[in-house]
Amino acid sequence: WDETHFGKMGSYYINRTFFFDVHPPLGKMLIGLAGYLSGYDGTFPFQKPGDRYEQHNYVGMRGVRLYRHVSSWLALLCFSVQMLELSRSLPAALLTAFILIFDTGCITLSQYILLDPILMFFLMGAVLSMVKCNSCADRPFSASWWFWLCLTGVNLAGAMGVKFVGLFVVLLVGLNTIYDLWDLLGDLSLSLVMFGKHLLARVLCLILLPLALYTAMFAVHFTVLNKSGPGDGFFSSAFQSQLIGNNLHNVSIPE
């Protein structure tokens, strides 16, 4: 059922048809982009689970262009987190990667048009970026420190932009940041000015940057979906007047 739902959402993006859904737009936009780049024309109806795709080019949306690549990266990310930062044990890192590679659930999720592989990619990316940034604590404000801190913010925005359950990794990074700042505050050799710089850097990269990217996702969402569709009724008359094909299109709406 979920493949039918998210496949239809991807078709809406390809056809630029406005819709309303409970999830943020990033994952569905990536599904639509994968279909568009692989030649899918957005005409399959996605009416019920089990319908045959027949001549429709669904391969890009279902596996080759996006999901298999993302799922492959998950094993590499898990290996990197374990080997380079957490356990620093090659056997433990290999075991973690093999467990993920041969997990039936992950294999199944990677074969269908779903948001979960994309979500897991951003979740693991955020964790890896966070631990890599922690490893640069002895050289704050260096290029590598800024890179991993900014990449953590980008991955947080990606996780939130796919599903709201991505807020759990935001909580993880937030708790880690609070612990880190508390530790810095207790360092008597660190001036208050330097502590303020640490605090400002984290506000910029872990709060303002993700919020800006998250807002930009919706800006792209509303720019692409400019035609009337099944989601019109959830919004105001003034908004509906901006949708091509709507009965209120270009009608003057008094404030």
Number of other residues whose CB lies within 10 A of the CB of residue 124: 22
Q: What is the DSSP letter of 241?
A: T
- Is residue 252 in a domain? no
How much of the chain exceeds pLDDT 70, in percent? Answer: 86
- Is residue 249 in a domain? no
Q: What is the pLDDT confidence band of residue 95, given thresholds at 50, 70 and 90? A: confident
Q: What is the DSSP letter of 244?
A: B
- Is residue 251 in a domain? no
The better pLDDT of the pair 205, 249 is held by: 205
Model pTM score: 0.85
pLDDT value at 226 more than 60:
yes
Give how many domains the chain has, as a whole number: 1
pLDDT digits (tens, 9 = 90+) for 8-55: 777 888 888 898 888 999 988 988 888 888 777 767 767 777 667 677
pLDDT digits (tens, 9 = 90+) for 97-110: 788 778 777 777 77
Q: Are 158 and 125 in contact (CB under 8 A)?
A: yes
Enclosing domain of residue 38: 2-242
- Is residue 80 in a domain? yes
Q: How many CA atoms lie within 13 A of 136 on its CB side?
A: 16
Q: Are 68 and 110 in contact (CB under 8 A)?
A: yes
The predicted model gives 139-151 an average pLDDT of 95
- Is residue 233 in a domain? yes
- Is residue 250 in a domain? no
- Is residue 199 in a domain? yes
CA–CA gap between residue 47 and residue 51 (Å, rounded): 8
pLDDT digits (tens, 9 = 90+) for 207-217: 999 999 999 99
- Is residue 247 in a domain? no
The predicted model gives 78-88 an average pLDDT of 71
Q: Are 12 and 40 in contact (CB under 8 A)?
A: no
Q: What is the DSSP letter of 248?
A: T
Q: Mapped to the 3 state alphabet, what secondary structure does 64-84 carry?
A: CCCHHHHHHHHHHHHHHHHHH
